[in-house]
Amino acid sequence: MERDGSGPPAAVRDRTAGAPGPLGDGAGARPGRGGRGRTAAAGRRGRGVRDHQGRWGWLFATPMVVILGLFLVLPIGMAAWVSLLKWDGQSNPFSGAADFVGVRNYADLLTGPGQDRQLFMTSIRNNLYYVLLVVPLQTVLSLGLALAVHHRRVKGKGFFRTVFYFPSVTSSIAISTVFLFLFQGSGAVNALLKWVGITGPRWFTDAHGLVWSVLGLLGVVDPDKPVPALAAHGFLGLSWWDWLSGPSIAMCTLIVLAVWTTSGTYMLMFLAALQDVPVELEEAALLDGANRWQSFRNVTLPAIRPVVFLVATLGLIGTWQVFDAVYVMSQGAPANTTLTPAYLSYTAGFQDADYGRAAAIGFVLLAIILVMTLIQRLLLRERGGGRTARRPGARGLFLRGRSS
């Protein structure tokens, strides 16, 4: 075997010229195309699997997409077109028989000098007071009920959950009818007030606002004689006297009804969120010297913040769409003080046969709900960023205890 002076024999060099070294890349060897080929093939197979799964996903989602398109997106588009028409519901709105009026229906509601604007702004005022009172009350009450039921020392939790939740599953029409009899002039509520020496109000016939009624009892103002400075000036077609009057006595009964019937549902949402809060965090805060309120404010409440936002959002949407209680109990009376946009849209379409104005009311109401939901999201957003800021309570209490 030949040698060329030093090093291994030539035959050995020839056999080992392309062999990999100890670390896998032999001297003089070209890079392994086989490894790159296997990687590329695996990547192509992965993409093929993902594409195959994506096609199956779209196949399973297609029926729901078609259903949502037919029964949600398409009706919304049709309603948007009807809101631009003067249509009485007796012809085909897409055949050209209805008069196209553009944005006149919206202009009449928002800037017009007629009665349409006055009724619409009155309904907005009524519903605004309804929202401002119902949403906080039902949120606080449902959270309180959830905390009471969630307490470890409470016995019969299943019984109390059923009792608190029962009004939420009862027919709203039936409950509205019961409330209508309870709050009549000779109903059970006024009889109970009379038994303790209080003359009950005229629940469904008194059109005065709650603010002016209370100030009238205190002798500050006369509810029957508006203050000239407030009555002479106004905003969006209503005087400041009307805007500041507060909810009517009849609207207060609707508020009590809404809070009583919805708190049970939101109680279950809060209860599920409370059960997800680690007990160790609460116990650590208590051991660090925090009282019950500090533990709730710094540990429990930040942990359930997303559920608070969910409950407030659902309550906001539901209160702006209130209809059934108004239809059964008052139908806008007395003096339109319980009129709401949803009920006004119903009367515009099914009583006045003005479906264009009814659809326009619905879309203005949708815009109001979206704007108020965004404002609520900004007010309830998490400060501090990220999910790690969601449960800062125990650590903050530890640091506070050490510093003291």
- Domain boundary assignment for the chain: 46-105, 111-209+246-403
The C-alpha atoms of residue 228 and residue 232 are separated, in whole angstroms, by 6
Q: What is the pLDDT at residue 115?
A: 87
Question: What pLDDT does residue 43 have?
Answer: 58
Q: How far is residue 264 CA from its own chain's centroid?
A: 16
How far is CA 386 from each of CA 193, 277, 340, 391, rounded to the nearest angstrom?
A: 52, 17, 39, 10
pLDDT at position 354 is 93
Instruction: Among 3.40.50.1010, 1.10.3720.10, 1.10.150.120, 1.10.540.10, name the CATH number for the domain at 111-209+246-403.
Output: 1.10.3720.10
Please report the pLDDT score of residue 400 as a whole number. 44
- Tens-binned pLDDT, residue by residue, of the chain (404 aa): 444 444 455 444 444 444 444 444 444 445 455 555 566 555 566 566 676 777 888 888 899 889 988 898 899 999 999 999 999 888 888 887 888 999 999 999 998 888 889 999 999 999 999 999 999 999 999 999 999 888 767 777 788 888 889 888 888 899 999 998 899 888 889 999 989 888 888 888 888 899 999 999 898 888 888 889 999 898 888 999 999 999 999 999 999 999 999 999 999 999 999 988 888 887 888 888 888 888 888 888 989 999 999 999 999 999 999 999 999 999 998 999 999 999 999 999 999 999 999 999 999 999 999 999 999 888 877 654 444 334 444 444 444 444 44
Question: Cβ of 114: how many Cβ atoms within 10 Å?
Answer: 10
The predicted pLDDT at position 48 comes to: 62
Is residue 148 a contact partner of residue 154, using CB atoms and an 8 Å limit? Answer: yes
Return the pLDDT at 11.
47
φ, ψ of residue 234 in degrees (nearest 5): -160, -170
